[in-house]
């Protein structure tokens, strides 16, 4: 090293992922799922086996269901620990049902937060009394002035029984959480979490016009916390006629369920009016 000269080393902070529009942007966060899917899905032999199995099951799938649409409007009150006043939510949702596909999308408005989701289930196997499906879901929570949370879900769904008697639905999925604190992008890098999402629900017909169900789940369609902060829910559905039904529900969410400090983080209750729309000419 030449005499009289010094080499200065500068320790630069880790600013997270980099893209053409800067550091720690939401666009950069959204690129990460593509990389992870490539590593964990397309480069695994299990992916080929899964596709082959789905093709075989599809050949044996049977269903006499007619496709239809469903619109629902829901109001919900949340009583959150540490907050004096309840939180009001306004929720709108659309569902499309067909023998092979169940697609849905929803928007939830809460003070200071906008949440949305797009969900799809493909049923390669559907026989009387049993169905097996593959599920994919994207959920976004935009906490205005704080952060953007992106959740991607990939998994399977099993449904057994009959809706007019007793039905059981179980789903198990891999959950990728990407959180971007865009107001603090120079200090806090994007957070990446790999976890699971589980749900089990049982519903039975009490009478011809009333259904009663219970559910335990690690997530809500508009919110995917880290595993395991479960939701416990009980719901009743009143079938007003062939096109309309009224659903009421109440439940609780626990935090840190597998620790000695587990506690109910919030209680919630709500009402939902659902309308079934059949395609023209199907009646």
Per-residue pLDDT, 183 = 80
Per-residue pLDDT, 226 = 86
Q: CB-hemisphere CA count at 13 Å for 136?
A: 4
Ranges of the chain with pLDDT below 70: 1-64, 258, 260, 281-283
Per-residue pLDDT, 22 = 41
Residue 135 bridge partners (DSSP): 121, 155
Per-residue pLDDT, 60 = 52
Per-residue pLDDT, 217 = 95
Per-residue pLDDT, 218 = 93
pLDDT in tens, 242-271: 899 999 999 999 887 767 677 888 999 999
Are the beta carbons of 266 and 78 closer than 8 angstroms? yes
The two tokens of residue 175 are 């959950």
Per-residue pLDDT, 16 = 42
Per-residue pLDDT, 164 = 84
Per-residue pLDDT, 257 = 72
Pairing of strands 231-239, 191-205: unpaired
Per-residue pLDDT, 32 = 53
């Amino acid at each position: 090293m030449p005499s009289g000269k010094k080499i200065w080393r500068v320790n630069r902070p880790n600013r997270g992922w980099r893209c053409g529009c800067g550091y720690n942007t939401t666009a950069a966060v959204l690129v990460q799922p593509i990389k992870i899917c490539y590593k964990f899905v397309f480069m695994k032999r299990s992916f080929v086996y899964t596709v082959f199995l789905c093709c075989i099951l599809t050949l044996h799938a049977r269903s006499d269901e007619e496709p239809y649409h469903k619109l629902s409007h829901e109001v919900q009150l949340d009583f959150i620990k540490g907050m004096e006043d309840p939180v009001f939510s306004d929720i709108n949702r659309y569902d499309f049902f067909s023998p092979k596909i169940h697609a849905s999308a929803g928007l939830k408005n809460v003070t200071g937060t906008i949440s949305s989701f797009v969900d799809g289930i493909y049923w390669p196997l559907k026989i009387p009394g049993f169905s097996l499906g593959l599920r994919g879901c994207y959920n976004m929570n935009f906490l205005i002035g704080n952060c953007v949370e992106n959740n991607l879900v990939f998994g399977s769904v099993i449904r057994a029984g009959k809706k007019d008697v007793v039905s059981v639905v179980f789903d198990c999925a891999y959950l990728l959480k990407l959180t971007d604190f865009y107001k603090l992008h120079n200090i806090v890098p994007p957070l990446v979490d790999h976890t699971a999402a589980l749900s089990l629900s049982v519903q039975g017909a009490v009478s011809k016009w009333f259904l009663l169900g219970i559910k335990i789940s690690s997530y809500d369609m508009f919110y995917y916390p880290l595993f395991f902060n479960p939701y416990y829910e009980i719901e009743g559905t009143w079938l007003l006629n062939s096109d309309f039904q009224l659903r009421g529900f109440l439940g609780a969410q626990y935090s840190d369920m597998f620790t000695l400090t587990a506690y109910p983080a919030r209680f919630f209750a709500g009402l939902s009016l659902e309308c079934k729309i059949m395609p023209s000419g199907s009646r």
